[in-house]
Amino acid sequence: MLTTMNLPLHTSVWVKSRRSWCCYASLSQPDRKEIRLGLPSKGRMSADTLQLLQNCQLSVKQVNPRQYVAEIPQLSNLDVWFQRPKDIVRKLLSGDLDLGIVGLDTFSEHGQGNDDLIIVHEALEYGDCRLSLAIPQYGIFENVNSLDELAKMPQWTEEKPLRVATGFTYLGPKFMKENGLKHVTFSTADGALEAAPAMGIADAILDLVSSGTTLRENNLKEIKGGVVLESQAVFITSRKSVIQRKGVLETTHEMLERLEAHLRAIGQFTVTANMRGSSAEEVAERILSQPSLMGLQGPTVSPVFCKRDGKVTADYYAIVICVPQKALYKSIQQLRAIGGSGVLISPLTYIFDEETPRWRQLLSKLGL
């Protein structure tokens, strides 16, 4: 069992795992008692994050919308800090935050592969975009449609390299190096990168793309092999915080369980119906003969009791199954075809596993 402790500043802690002893650097602000969760402060990412937490019964309570500190009443001893996404990553590294939600692109760019950062949940299912290289549709690039073709263009030399405008000054050079593009220079830029090639200050851009409409409207195109990473919102933590700060591991576990249970239930429906049968086993046989009526682990079948001629009998059985939305109508048709009646449909809110796989993965990463 992991024990957390308060340590003096500039010390290290040795923690025994199943396999070995591991050393972790000391926490920043070791005397801080509260757990801190960093959330995006503005824009669509902020709104979608707050909505997700609300759907997980973790509503963020903010007394004043101008304040940068809030709370989640269901999580004791936790403060919510609204920050710029890149600052959330930096403050996880410095120890000023313990948990956070950001886009994978921000995590990768500003985390820069630091081993202290851990992705607890890699797919929160919003904030979808991709970090992609884009070049003009015209001129010398008109017939260039892949990263390989771009790399082989004779124009790029040590004296005249490919000029790329981007805000991703870590991921950009790393990607080019890994793909063998030697003669490349990067200029730092934020916002409206699509104008850079037309203005003559860059040959290409490396930026986040959702639908690609903005690129096309500015006569730019993505190329095959030019996607650096696919991004969406991720739930992250710091190895130091989880190991050393009291309560962070437990809070991480609760948040992860709530997130996974809600995300797993999206698009799933409970189907309840009555079915006449001679026994629960006979009814189950009929249900399992239909592929779309299998449910998560199989149907639940239970007798429906009624009183007839003074005796309690069970001529009908209630069946309960879980069905994905895309197969809902087909499942209802199959259910009625084998004798189902009184079919009731209700959306699911949560599906809790016995233990979330990502929790086991987290403990493995921590060596616990």
Closest alpha carbon to 223 in 139, 163, 146, 142: 146
268-347 under CATH 3.90.700.10, yes or no: no
Domain spans of the chain?
Answer: 12-126+232-265+356-365, 129-228, 268-347
Q: For residue 110, count CB atoms less than 10 angstroms from its CB and return exposed for 0-12, middle for 13-18, buried for 19 or more.
A: buried
Q: What is the CA radius of gyration of the chain?
A: 27
**What single string gives the DSSP state of each residue in 190-246?**
-S-GGGHHHHTS-SEEEEEESSSHHHHHTTEEEEEEEEEEEE-EEEEEEHHHHHHST
For domain 129-228, give the CATH number.
3.40.190.10
CA atoms in the 13 A half-sphere facing the CB of 200: 0
Q: Phi first, then psi: what are they for 164, rounded to 5°?
A: -120, 125
The 3-class SS string of 252-306 reads: HHHHHHHHHHHHHHCCEEEEEEEEECCCHHHHHHHHHCCHHHCCCCCCEEEEEEE
Per-residue pLDDT of the chain (368 residues; tens, 9 = 90+): 334 433 333 334 443 333 334 444 456 676 788 999 999 999 999 999 999 999 999 999 988 878 899 999 999 899 999 999 999 999 999 999 999 999 999 999 999 999 999 999 999 999 999 999 999 999 999 999 999 999 999 999 999 999 999 999 999 999 999 999 999 999 987 678 999 999 999 999 999 999 999 999 999 999 999 999 999 999 999 999 999 999 999 999 999 999 999 999 999 999 999 998 888 999 999 998 887 888 888 899 999 888 888 888 788 899 999 999 999 999 999 999 999 899 999 999 999 988 889 999 999 999 98
Do domains 12-126+232-265+356-365 and 268-347 share one topology? The answer is: no
CB 93 within 8 A of CB 237: no
Please name the CATH architecture into which domain 12-126+232-265+356-365 falls. 3-Layer(aba) Sandwich (3.40)
Q: What angle do CA 258, 262, 267 make, to 5 degrees?
A: 170
What pTM does this model have? 0.85
Closest alpha carbon to 206 in 219, 222, 217, 182: 222
- Beta-carbon count within 10 A of 166 CB: 24
* CA 327 – CA 338 distance, rounded (Å): 17
CA distances from residue 285 to 25, 277, 323, 338, 345 in whole angstroms, order as listed:
59, 10, 18, 11, 22
CA distances from residue 34 to 59, 98, 128, 257 in whole angstroms, order as listed:
18, 10, 32, 21
Length of the chain: 368
pLDDT for the residue numbered 138: 95
As given in the structure block, the two tokens for residue 359 are: 């929790």
As given in the structure block, the two tokens for residue 227 are: 């996607």
Closest alpha carbon to 5 in 245, 344, 165, 207: 245
Residues 6+ apart with CB under 8 A from 81: 36, 37, 38, 39, 68, 69, 97
